[in-house]
Amino acid sequence: MQAHSASSHVQDLLAGLNPEQKAAVTAPGSALVLAGAGSGKTRVLTTRIAWLVSTGQVSPMGLLAVTFTNKAAREMLTRLSALLPINTRGMWVGTFHGLCNRLLRTHHREAGLPQLFQILDGQDQLAAVKRLLKALNVDTERYEPRRVQAFINANKEAGLRAADVEAHDPFSRRLVELYAEYDAQCQREGVADFAELLLRAHELLARNALLREHYQTRFRHILVDEFQDTSRLQYRWLKLLKGPESALFAVGDDDQSIYAFRGANVGNMGELLRDLGLAAPIKLTRNYRSLSTILDAANAVIAHNRNRLGKDLWTEAGAGEPIRHYEALDDGEEARFVVEEAQQLRRDGRDWGDLAVLYRANAQSRAIEHALFSAGIPYRVHGGQRFFERAEIKHALAYLRLLANPEDDGAFLRVVNFPARGVGARTLEALDAAARQGGMSLWQAACAGGTKNKGLAGFVQLIEGLRAEVAGLPLAETVEVVVDRSGLIGHYTHERDGEDRIENLRELTNAAIAFAAESDTQDLAAFLAHAALEAGEHEAEAHQDAVQLMTVHAAKGLEFHTVFITGLEEGLFPHENALTETDGLEEERRLMYVAITRARKRLYLTHAQVRMLHGQPRYGLPSRFLEEIPAGLIQSLRMHKPSAATMRATGSGSGARATGPAAVRFPFAIGSRVVHARYGEGVVAGYQGQGAEAEIRVSFPRIGDKWFILEYAHLTAC
Active site residues: 41-42, 225-226, 256, 598
For residue 35, give the nearest of 259, 304, 223 by alpha carbon.
223
Q: Which residues pair with 328 in a beta bridge?
A: 608
Q: Supply the DSSP string of 268-304, one letter for each residue.
A: HHHHHHHHHT-SS-EEE-B-SSS-HHHHHHHHHHHTT
Long-range contacts, 271-278 (Cβ 8 Å, 24+): 271/235, 272/32, 272/227, 272/235, 272/248, 273/32, 275/239, 276/30, 276/32, 276/248, 278/30, 278/31, 278/32
Say if strands 599-613 and 560-565 run parallel, antiparallel, or are unpaired: parallel
For residue 665, give the nearest of 687, 636, 634 by alpha carbon.
687
The one-character DSSP state at 657 is: G
Question: Residues 84, 53: contact at Cβ < 8 Å?
Answer: yes
Question: Residues 564, 357: contact at Cβ < 8 Å?
Answer: yes
Type of residue at 468: A
Say if strands 31-35 and 282-284 run parallel, antiparallel, or are unpaired: parallel
Distance CA 153, CA 81 (A): 37
Contacts of 505 (CB under 8 A, 6+ apart): 392, 393, 396, 483, 488, 489, 492
Distance CA 132, CA 145 (A): 9
Collapsing DSSP to helix, strand or coil, 581 comes out as coil
Distance CA 373, CA 542 (A): 17
For residue 140, give the nearest of 129, 155, 151 by alpha carbon.
129
For residue 385, give the nearest of 223, 546, 551, 230 by alpha carbon.
551
For residue 477, give the nearest of 513, 515, 502, 514 by alpha carbon.
513
The continuous run of DSSP H or E covering 165 comes out as: none
Residue 620 has a CB neighbour count (10 Å cut-off) of 23
Distance CA 365, CA 343 (A): 18
Distance CA 47, CA 53 (A): 10
Contacts of 56 (CB under 8 A, 6+ apart): none
For residue 508, give the nearest of 602, 585, 393, 621 by alpha carbon.
393
Contacts of 643 (CB under 8 A, 6+ apart): 330, 331, 332, 333, 336, 514, 517
Q: 60 to each of 67, 90, 431, 622, how far by Cα in Å?
A: 17, 8, 62, 53
Q: What are the start-end ranges of the E strands in 347-463?
A: 355-359, 379-381
